[in-house]
Amino acid sequence: MQKNVKVYEKYLYEIWKKRDFVKNLTTKDGQQIEVIDSGSENKELGGPDFRNARIKIGNITYCGDVEIDSYQSDWKAHGHSINKKYNKVILHVALNNNSSQAFVYTQEGRKVQSISLSEFLAKDLRKTVQQTIINETKKRINKMPCSELNQLVDEKVKLNYIYDLGMERFRKKTARMLERLKEITYINELNLKEPVVRYELDEAFHRREFKPKDFNNREIWQQLIYESIFEALGYSKNKEIMQRLAESCNIRFLKTFFQKDDFTAYTEAALFNISNLMPDVQELPDEETSAYTKKLAELWNEIKGYYDNRTFNAAQWHFYKLRPQNFPTIRIAGGARLLTRILKNDLISNIIKTVESVDNPKQLENKLRAMFIVKGEGFWKHHYVFDQQAKVSINYFIGVSRSDEILVNVILPVLAVYFEIFKRPHLARKIVRLYGNYYQTSENNLVDEVASTLALENTWKRSVLYQGMIELFRNFCSRNKCLDCRIGKDVFT
């Protein structure tokens, strides 16, 4: 979060501490809220804004944390819903409830009351705070503190540092993949169903030393790649729910209809019904749409008896302000076809064989990229949503730029983990070299701005530098950690 935004939230903190309200706080459904103790302000870098608060809601007194945001949607946007640090939050306070939701959900799935503070402030005070935040939102850009001074730093110094950050980001991704691989292995061994069964990995898991033979099961690698690809297909707005969908509609369930001739259609039926994105077939006006959804409904009726995991709410999916090409419906259609490649066409083995046999880096890059490009076909070639035909045909469900993102963020880190586990260090090094020299076609506004600010506009397409610029901004610039940054040290000292 940028410095100016934090100042304005500090203003809200003062209101909270002073309990400067013109009327008693209430929940959306009318329960009285009494702030017995507003808690102590958390001055550390992470976690909820107030610790150890005591809040009475209705007849129950809760002890825990309070999170204060400018907007109700910030709870998800800032990642609180997937961060264990926020599991003890007992009340979410936002200046404005811009999503009309009365609750937010913690990482462990607990429902927390969310209130709109603007309803309880004096009108002039409310107007001042609202206008301050609106002005800041309009001006908000990926501003780097050294934007006026970093031209004093030699270009080679900047490039070397960003390269190192890009490599560090790759190491973080491999560590994350390995950790998730261990979790999937452990869950499979215990025969847990996730995420219906909420679990905490116990001490035995953390003490356990995993050995290569623990990872011989092909299914755990398929699940890891499936989850990670779906997360990548979700972009920023739907990445979490896409990953949860892959965890729920998992490989084990997909294999219950593995032998079906039209496996892709069955997979679409499962994904669209479990996601709850499929509408009621009786209410659709278009005959072609109705025929397609009726087919999905029939296929789902065939296989749903084997499914005993969670389903989602249509309201959890984001379409607003997305390009139609990035709608979750299109990404799920593309993902269903990649699942066919993973399960029916042995995609993982094909990837490994390609890495083993192709030595020319450019040829290897092109061959791997092609494995994740999915051309538009069937119903979704002409639709962005179920009940309305698209004005133009959709040529690709997953194009070159998204394929690049999948390779850089998912496949290369997974391959590095795979070759390290199975004691093939020369191939692990080959993957790291490929990452260091990969050039991608995808664009990113944050990367564009960082590259422009650093006067490195012609370098960002090299993936290691692209990733390094993301790492630089997110872990240093946005946190004002300038003196921990090599470029910042040169500029400010």
Query: How open is the CA angle 122-127-130, to the nearest 5 degrees?
Result: 120
25: β partners: 33
Strand boundaries in 332-474, DSSP class E = 374-375, 383-385, 388-389, 396-398
Query: How open is the CA angle 125-126-128, to the nearest 5 degrees?
Result: 65
With the C-alpha atoms ordered 351, 354, 355, 360, is the resulting torsion angle positive or negative? negative
The C-alpha atoms of residue 488 and residue 482 are separated, in whole angstroms, by 5
pLDDT number for residue 433: 96
Return the structure tokens found at 337.
Answer: 């076809």
Residue 31: is it exposed, middle or buried by C-beta count within 10 angstroms (0-12/13-18/19+)? middle
Q: In terms of Cα–Cα distance, which of 199, 245, 252 is closest to 223?
A: 252
The C-alpha atoms of residue 216 and residue 119 are separated, in whole angstroms, by 57
92: β partners: 67, 114
Render pLDDT for 47-97 as a digit per residue (tens, 0 to 9): 899 999 999 999 999 999 999 988 888 888 788 888 888 999 999 999 887
Residues 6+ apart with CB under 8 A from 63: 52, 53, 54, 90
Longest dimension (CA), the chain: 72
Are 94 and 115 a contacting pair, CB within 8 Å? yes
Q: In terms of Cα–Cα distance, which of 385, 376, 374, 268 is closest to 320?
A: 385
What residues of the chain score a pLDDT lower than 50? 1-7, 138-141, 194-198
pLDDT number for residue 220: 96
Beta strands 40-41 and 32-37: pairing type?
Answer: unpaired
